[in-house]
């Protein structure tokens, strides 16, 4: 009697690799922005991209950046940690900063498309980004930030291909997401300029009624910044903030004069000592200056020798 032995061969299906792509990056740090020069602040950096499990020679990766503050892409905004104020900025795909880095849901910028050549089913590369904070009139002193959170604000879509890369679209599968922060700091800052004060030509009338003149000090400060402006005693020998002296070019003779905060010339402008006051003001923004008049008066006094008399005053702004 013969027996039949049956051989049962169990075959396991071969597991196919699944395409995965990942992006990593640190925070975007603008540092201190909105200086008195009224210039933009720019920065650049890079993110790392790696893919594995590809079964095709190429992978089309679409990296999308959202708008975590106010759902606004153009501009994007950072939020002041204390004031809640907004600071405009943006992130760009190109060095000339003309292409906003957006997402499939943005009308002002598209995702960044990267075509990665893979070897042995994997590949990696570095991707640059470009960012800018434009100078802004109403920016107030504060620390500003925004966080791009996983999936909703920073996502990665990817598909493999052999010949023609597919277009980035919302139908492409999301394979991963990432997170990063954006930071900037606005500090109070001021710029001060001044025009010369000219008392003109004075003759014998100086002994009887003196002479008046007016000049201007212009101040540009960060919006909301409180500041004060003090004037020193000048360069005349023996001068004080309460009794200033213009010295003759060719000799030691001098003319007494004063600088005042008011047109009636009753409030001497100095450094707060010897009965003088300082100017106080509030910044209106880095493009809107405050113009402050300096009222000068040469008191009636005995006529000194003829010639050119002058003094140099240093204005110091504190904020």
The CATH number that applies at residue 313 is: 2.60.40.1090
- What pLDDT score does 243 carry? 96
Distances (CA, A) of 4 to 1, 7, 10, 11: 10, 10, 19, 22
Nearest CA among 228, 214, 204, 29 for reference residue 129: 29
Task: Flag residues of the chain having pLDDT under 50.
Answer: 1-16
Q: Is residue 131 part of a domain?
A: yes
Q: Which domain holds residue 256?
A: 190-318
Q: Are 236 and 179 members of one domain? A: no
Domains held by the chain: number? 2
Q: Report d(CA 148, CA 150) in Å as an integer.
A: 7
End-to-end CA distance of the chain: 111
Task: Give the per-residue pLDDT at 178.
Answer: 98
Q: What angle do CA 260, 266, 268 make, to 5 degrees?
A: 40
Give the Cα separation of 188 and 139 in Å (integer).
10
- The secondary structure of the chain, three-state, reads CCCCCCCCCCCCCCCCCCCEEEEECCCEEEEEECCCCCCCEEEEEEEEEEEECCCCCEEEEEEEECCCCCCCCCCEEEEECCCCCEEEEEEECCCCCCCEECCCCCCCCECEEEEEECECCEEEEEEEEEEEECCCCCCCCEEEEEEECECCCEEEEEEEECCCCCCCCCCCCEEEECCEEEEEEECCCEEEEECCCCCCCCCCCHHHHCEEEEEEEEEEECCCCEEEEEECCCCCCCCCCCCEEEEECCCCCEEEEEEECCCCCCCEECCCCCCCECEEEECCEEEEEEEEEEEEEECCCCCCCCCCEECCCCEEEEC
| Same domain assignment for residues 54 and 179 | yes
Q: What is the pLDDT of residue 15?
A: 34
Residue 45 lies in a domain: yes
Together in a domain, 182 and 194? no
Supply the pLDDT for residue 83: 96
Residues 197 and 132 in one domain: no
Residues 108 and 144 in one domain: yes
Cis geometry, peptide bond prior to residue 75 (ω within 30 degrees of 0): yes
Domain boundary at 186, 220, 242, which?
186
Residues 6+ apart with CB under 8 A from 2: none
Bridge partners, 212 (sequence order)? 297
Closest-CA residue to 43 (of 52, 55, 33): 33
Based on the fold, state whether residues 178 and 52 are members of the same structural domain.
yes
Residue 11 lies in a domain: no
User: What tokens appear for 165 in the block?
Assistant: 């890369």
Partnered with residue 218 across adjacent β-strands are 193, 291
Q: Are 197 and 158 in contact (CB under 8 A)?
A: no
Q: Residue 4: its pLDDT value, please?
A: 33
In a domain, 14, yes or no: no
What pLDDT does 17 receive? 61
The length of the chain is 319
């Amino acid at each position: 009697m013969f027996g039949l032995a049956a051989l049962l061969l169990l075959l396991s299906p071969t597991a196919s690799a699944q395409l995965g792509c990942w992006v990593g990056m640190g925070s975007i740090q603008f540092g201190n922005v909105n200086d008195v020069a009224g210039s933009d602040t720019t920065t650049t950096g890079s993110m790392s991209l790696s893919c594995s499990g590809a079964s095709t020679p190429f992978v089309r990766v679409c990296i999308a950046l959202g708008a975590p503050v106010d759902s606004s892409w153009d501009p994007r905004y950072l939020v002041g940690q204390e004031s809640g104020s907004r600071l405009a900025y943006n992130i760009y795909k190109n060095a000339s900063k003309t292409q906003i880095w957006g997402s499939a849901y943005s009308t002002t910028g598209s995702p960044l498309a990267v075509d990665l050549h893979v070897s042995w089913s994997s590949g990696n590369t570095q991707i640059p980004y470009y960012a800018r904070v434009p100078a802004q009139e109403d920016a107030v002193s504060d620390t500003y930030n925004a966080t791009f959170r996983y999936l909703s604000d920073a996502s990665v879509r990817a598909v493999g291909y052999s010949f023609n890369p597919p277009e980035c679209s919302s139908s492409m599968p999301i394979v991963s997401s990432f997170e990063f922060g954006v930071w900037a700091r606005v500090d109070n800052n001021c710029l001060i300029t001044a025009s010369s004060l000219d008392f003109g030509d004075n003759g014998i009338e100086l002994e009887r009624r003196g002479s008046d003149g007016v000049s201007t000090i212009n101040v540009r400060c960060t919006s909301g910044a409180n500041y004060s402006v003090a004037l020193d005693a000048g360069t005349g020998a023996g001068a004080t903030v309460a009794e200033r002296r213009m010295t003759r070019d060719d000799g030691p003779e001098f003319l007494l004069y004063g600088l005042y905060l008011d047109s009636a010339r009753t409030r001497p402008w100095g450094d707060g000592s010897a009965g003088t006051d300082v100017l106080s003001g509030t910044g209106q923004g880095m493009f809107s200056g405050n113009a402050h008049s300096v009222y000068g008066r040469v008191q009636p006094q005995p006529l000194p020798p003829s010639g050119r008399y002058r003094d140099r005053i240093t204005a110091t702004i504190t904020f």
